[in-house]
Chain A
Amino acid sequence: MYRYDEFDERFVRERVAQFRDQVARRLDGSLTEDEFKPLRLKNGVYLQLHAYMLRIAVPYGTLSSRQLRQLALIGERYDRGYGHFTTRQNLQFNWPKLRDVPAILELLADVEMHCIQTSGNCIRNVTADHFAGVAQDEIEDPRPVCELIRQWSTAHPEFSYLPRKFKIAITGAQHDRAVIKAHDIGIRIVRHTESGEVGYEISVGGGLGRTPMIGKAVRDFLPRADLLAYLEAVMRVYNLEGRRDNKYKARVKILVHEIGTEEFRRRVEAEFALLDGPSVNADPEELARIASYFTPPAYETLPQDSAALAAAKAANPEFARWVDTNLTPHRVPGYTAVTISLKPVGLAPGDATSEQMRLVADLAERFSFDELRVTHAQNLVLPHVRQDDLFAIWQALVPVGLATANLGLITDIIACPGLDYCALATARSIPIAQAISQRFADAQRQAAIGELNIKISGCINACGHHHVGHIGILGLEKRGIESYQITLGGDATENAAIGEILGPGLPAEAVPDAIERIVSVYESERDAGERFIDTVKRVGLVPFKAAFRELADAAA
């Protein structure tokens, strides 16, 4: 993992001191709320429905055990004993008091953490494939590039007051697990088709929210050395030409859409040609220094398959089901990546108690080279686990409610906090997720349905990624009650697609039935072994709309 150098350390400590002073000036009346709000937002402090909310950055989703333990401590000491992992790979505390935030930031700084770039119109924390460094289909670990971009973008004087927020996601793998096509910039590490050289494919103009767009490739192959200069060229075009007259049209996706991909590419290339590349691009020595923090851990030489695992699976069907569901193949023989589901049936997706965080931290320290990941799907990952250790891990997870076997299944639901917490929300998300997971709680049924991603947002801002859910659910207000619009056919992977609306909105209580109908159509239409999303793509929306229509008419 990356470790702060003296500059990182000093920068974060100075920001804590500044914010402590800003809070003091707010409390003594020297600062009005209008003056204070942009300052608190630059430090991750929002005002939500019931309380302030603190959003803590987990850069590219990588955490150490020590850091997770500190989050557990903060949750216990200053919050309500739990935190919420988000689709931005961040952690949010829902109940901090403003007076306590400076102390919380000090505790975060003690473990090289902060809340910088979690809000405001800046380049936000860079997100990444949660299986970075371990995935079998990976060309290269994307995290050194993520860290380079963090260092380049943090407090970048030219890009601190952008027209709107700006999100960058990076993957080093063929299969996109970082939803890069739904980000302002999506970066994919690629190998040149002829030379074999490693470089980057750059997409721009993706995003969800009220105007969902899939990112457009503006460079199929960018040489490694040119990355920062090219990003700077993209940012300059956006900063100069992105709209500032209307916040709903201020994201780069609107600029790309309005002038067209070709014209946007032309302007970026023109800016790139004018830039003094060597003065912007990272010194290769610096990139090598950063990369050295991400060298693989000291794996043992192990056989591909574990006899201990096979024996434990044979003796324990529940464990076998968890193993068959929650593991991801590792590039090193004998190892695996374990996803710890934060989606137990009937509870809020992404929530973890301080007790659970401590347990996971202990497991990461003991069994995963002291490292864990936060996924955009609101789960945790132990990335480097010996297959021999899986049974011990599972036994530790069961008593704290963390052994749910549902990775990628219908109950592995993404849901934003919605109107249970969020001041922007128009409807609740969490109870919808709870109701669906209860309806489909039966493990065998889930396994029979197979891979199916449900994503729920409580407003049009789409923090719950509903547009790219196989089934997307958007909570709105309709004539004074919560109403849920259902979309079908969204895809968050390299085949990124925006889902299409099935029909009129439904009341909350009708949503589980609607999901049931959709699943029934899939079960009757699918070919042998065909995934839900592939059936939807093959047969189209017509049979799903017909089934949905009956339900919507009954609910109307």
Chain B
Amino acid sequence: MSAPFFKHGLFGEEASLIVAFAIGIGFGFFLERAGFGSARKLTAQFYLTDLAVFKVMFTAIVTAMLGVTYLGWMGFLDLSQVNLVPTHLWPQIAGGLILGVGFVIGGYCPGTSVAAMATGRVDAVLYALGV
């Protein structure tokens, strides 16, 4: 077991912030590449005119899931050291519903609104202020 690197003390808190910035750049880059800096493109998912949200999200989930599973099997990644979001089913169900409604009205989710602001969308600034 040699990963997660951070949990094995390969680097400290300060360096982890640089890692955060680098990972964020990758995250933002692919969000924008996919067209997720556009509220019109994002909400088209909910009018069934463009299913990109579905395709990108589930491809990403499956890619990461396969990676985590294989690296776990190979004994490279210690899965017990990967943080899990605690399950509180009812708040997650209620929060999900409200969030979905907010997504349709506002046109973004918090992460994509940052990508939208970066590409100059004023409506995303108002959205982020709402959050």
- Whether chain B is bound by chain A comes out as no
Interface residues of A (CB under 8 A from B): none
